[in-house]
Amino acid sequence: MTKYFHYLLGTALLLLSGCQSIEQLSIDYMLPAEVSFPTTLKRVAVVNNMPNVPDNKLIAGEEEKNKSAHEMTRLTNYYNGNAAITTEALAEALAAENYFEEVVICDSALRSRDITPRESTLTQEEASELVQDLNVDFLIALENVQMRSIRKISYMPAWGVFHGTVDVKVYPTVKIYLPNRKGPMATINTNDSIFWEEIENKEALVRARLIGEEEMLKQASGFAGTVPVKHLLPYWKSGNRYLFSGGSVNMRDGAVYAKEENWTEAIKLWQQTYQTKKGKTKMYAAYNTALGYEMQDSINTALEWAIKAQNIAREISKIDLNDKENTKSVQGGNLSYYIFISQYVEELQKREEGMARLNMQMSRFDE
């Protein structure tokens, strides 16, 4: 049912906008990282633990011509990234967050002198020696960075132009090492994409101006270094929220207070409406109250009010939401309110689940 709600959210918003005045607000909030570092770990070294790779970093590639009616060519290549660039970018990205007191870098390959292949994981002795030599508390090591690029040139007949794109997906892997500990503390496998495009009236111009392989590898390697950061450190996320601003004088005046970020007064009006009204207006008031508390970072209280709004929406819909086929058959009307509010409940639940971990991760700044 959760996936179904995500799928129908866009439809729900369209339906709601036709029935009720809705205003969009933006919100920035912090989410916890996957890894929690003890507050005693204040100095970190970022090290390059990738083996040397040949100058030609192309692993494999294939070209397909005339893949579709208007797609001229598609070239798919697989590469090893530039480990030195990725390590440097990772260190710079970590330092920019000011989460640790000191970030140092060791971007020379630790395994450059290996004569025979060995496991990439650092031994306990190697990790402890590096920590001591670099005068840090622990290590974050780049273990691998691979890439897949798809280079396409297509013709767009409606515009009479050629469209060239390069889409690169990067796969960096990092491990965290503590001194005197056998094996890594954690392994972080991540991925993300970076994209370039060119539009010209001639195919030859697109080919000439589209980013070349060497520059692509350089930029993609740098980008790969930034990808693990939000998995290692708490990070900010931007999102949209929606405010009901019609239905009664209190709802309208509350929306005015909300625009002024006077959430205390706005909540007072919405709660008065919740106590005195019924049906949809009561639901709107509960939902807005939840939003007001979220904007003040009172996530537990926000979730309580969002669930109240969700329960009212369920009553209004008069549909057995455990009956998947019945739910699918009624995609409009009152069901849209339930879908819309349930999506918000899910987002608040995720924030609530991460609050304890986020508070622990940010506790190093309490000192």
Domains by residue range for the chain, with CATH = 2-32+236-366 (1.25.40), 43-233 (3.30.160)
Tell me the average pLDDT across 165-188: 94
Residue 319: what pLDDT?
A: 58
Q: How far apart are CA 144 and CA 122, in angstroms?
A: 13
pLDDT greater than 80 at residue 118: no
Residue 329: what pLDDT?
A: 41
pLDDT greater than 90 at residue 190: yes
Q: Which of 44-58, 68-82, 141-155, 302-316 has the lowest mean pLDDT?
A: 44-58
Q: Is 176 helix (H, G, I), strand (E, B) or coil?
A: strand
pLDDT digits (tens, 9 = 90+) for 36-64: 999 999 999 999 998 766 544 555 555 55
Residue 316: what pLDDT?
A: 87
pLDDT greater than 90 at residue 335: no
- The model's pTM is 0.77
pLDDT greater than 60 at residue 15: no
Give the pLDDT band (50/70/90) at residue 6: very low
pLDDT digits (tens, 9 = 90+) for 241-275: 999 988 789 999 999 999 999 999 999 999 999 99
How big is the chain by its Cα radius of gyration, in Å? 26
Averaged confidence pLDDT in the chain: 85
Residue 56: what pLDDT?
A: 43
Residue 2: what pLDDT?
A: 41
pLDDT greater than 50 at residue 7: no
Token pair of 64 as six digits: 């397909």
Residue 331: what pLDDT?
A: 45
Q: Which of 93-97, 179-183, 185-189, 318-322 has the lowest mean pLDDT?
A: 318-322
Residue 220: what pLDDT?
A: 97
Q: Is 359 helix (H, G, I), strand (E, B) or coil?
A: helix
